[in-house]
């Protein structure tokens, strides 16, 4: 029985991280539909403000309250919020507006690389030949899947490309440096503070950008789509990501980001009647091989892993 529990603890974070990428994978499609009516900064405000409200309510039912043990921890969570929520979203939105979707997808391969380097620098992870090769292999799969010949790194997209690169570094840094406190406080309380601080910055910007929108004229389907964005790629995705981060290394959490393009192509096959090509199959092999190398736990260390 103990062995079954141990195996479950080892596998469960990986199922959670796959679910996270599935939820994040719905955001571009649903978000594009919402942005036809709602300004981008307002959508970010709805997303972060709605999640903050939900996490605070859920935390209030947990019985442990919102209070943190040390004053310095409030400052750390504010920093996590800037890197992982507020500045991350602002840079992504502005970067996407100034560059191409292909450039954005290609530059996203930097996130696991940045996360591994930051976590190694902070001694939260160990650099090994296996992990380096795994990240490179998965990144190669993503780049091959997207087809870099479609990218445009001209002067016209330079500013947007820089925004996306900084966005990738911020999110990767959040994944790396937030592990200790998220492990200590748990996913629910951590996300409550993360989104509370994030809403302080994004909600006022969202309210200001909504001044030109006729709220009475917004279709019900738009509001339903916004609710879906708040629930699936925000509340559930961030909670599961934090829950997994407390149980595996930052590099493992980050490497699963490489599943997003593959999920996008699979969705196109299911919903848009597109077909898999040899490029897709080969890219999938590279991505999954890289995931295996990064996430595989050596047998000699498995017994030493503890889970809160």
Q: What is the mean pLDDT of the chain?
A: 85
Residue 168 in any domain: the answer is: yes
Q: Is residue 103 part of a domain?
A: yes
> Does residue 123 sit within a domain?
yes
CA distances 300 to 50, 104, 134, 303, 305, Å, are 44, 39, 20, 7, 10
34-87 per-position pLDDT tens digit: 888 999 899 999 999 999 999 999 999 988 889 999 999 999 999 999 999 999
Q: Would residue 194 count as lying in a domain? A: yes
177-181's contacts with Cβ under 8 Å and 24+ in sequence apart are: 177/79, 177/80, 177/83, 177/118, 177/122, 177/124, 178/80, 178/84, 178/242, 178/245, 179/119, 179/124, 179/245, 179/246, 179/249, 179/250, 180/124, 181/73, 181/76, 181/77, 181/80
Residue 266 lies in a domain: yes
DSSP assignment of 14-82 equals: HHHHHHHHHHHHHHHHHHHHHTTTS-HHHHHHHHHHHHHHHHHHHHHHHSS-S--SSHHHHHHHHHHHI
How far apart (Å, rounded) are the C-alpha atoms in residues 52 and 235? 9
Confidence of residue 271 (pLDDT cuts 50, 70, 90): low
Summarised one tens digit per residue, pLDDT across range 216-255 is 999 999 999 999 999 999 999 999 999 999 998 888 898 8
Residue 260 has pLDDT above 50, yes or no: yes
Confidence of residue 172 (pLDDT cuts 50, 70, 90): very high
Per-position b or e across 251-288, b if 16+ CB within 10 A of its CB: bbbbbbbbbbbbbebbbeeeeeeeeeeeebeebbebbb
Q: Is residue 298 part of a domain?
A: yes
Range of the domain at 167: 2-302
In the chain, how many domains are there?
1
Tokens of 112: 């696991």
Residue 307 lies in a domain: no
């Amino acid at each position: 029985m103990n062995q079954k529990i141990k195996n479950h603890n080892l596998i469960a974070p990986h199922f959670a991280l796959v679910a996270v990428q599935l939820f994040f994978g719905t955001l571009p499609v649903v978000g594009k539909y919402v942005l036809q009516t709602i300004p981008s900064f307002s959508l970010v405000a709805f997303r972060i403000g709605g999640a903050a409200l939900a996490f605070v309510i859920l935390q209030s039912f947990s019985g442990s309250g919102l209070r943190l043990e040390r004053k310095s921890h409030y400052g750390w969570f504010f920093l996590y919020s800037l890197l992982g929520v507020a500045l991350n979203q602002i840079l992504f939105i502005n970067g996407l507006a100034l560059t191409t979707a292909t450039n954005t997808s290609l530059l996203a391969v930097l996130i696991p690389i940045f996360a591994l380097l930051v976590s190694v620098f902070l001694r939260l992870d160990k650099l090994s030949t296996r992990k380096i090769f795994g990240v490179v292999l998965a990144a190669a799969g993503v780049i091959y899947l997207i087809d870099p010949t479609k990218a445009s790194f001209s002067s016209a997209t330079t500013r947007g490309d820089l925004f996306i690169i900084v966005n990738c570094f911020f999110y990767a840094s959040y994944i790396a440096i937030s592990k200790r406190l998220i492990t200590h406080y748990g996913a629910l309380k951590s996300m409550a503070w993360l989104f509370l601080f994030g809403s302080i910055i994004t909600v006022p910007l969202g309210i200001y950008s909504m001044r030109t929108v006729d709220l009475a004229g917004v279709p019900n389907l738009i509001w339903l789509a916004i609710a879906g964005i708040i629930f699936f790629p925000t509340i559930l995705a961030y909670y599961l990501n934090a829950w997994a981060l407390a149980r595996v290394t930052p590099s493992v959490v980050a490497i699963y980001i490489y599943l997003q393009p593959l999920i996008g192509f699979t969705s196109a096959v299911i919903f848009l009647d597109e077909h898999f090509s040899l490029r897709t199959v080969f890219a999938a092999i590279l991505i999954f091989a890289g995931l295996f190398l990064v996430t595989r736990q050596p047998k000699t260390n498995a017994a030493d892993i503890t889970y809160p």
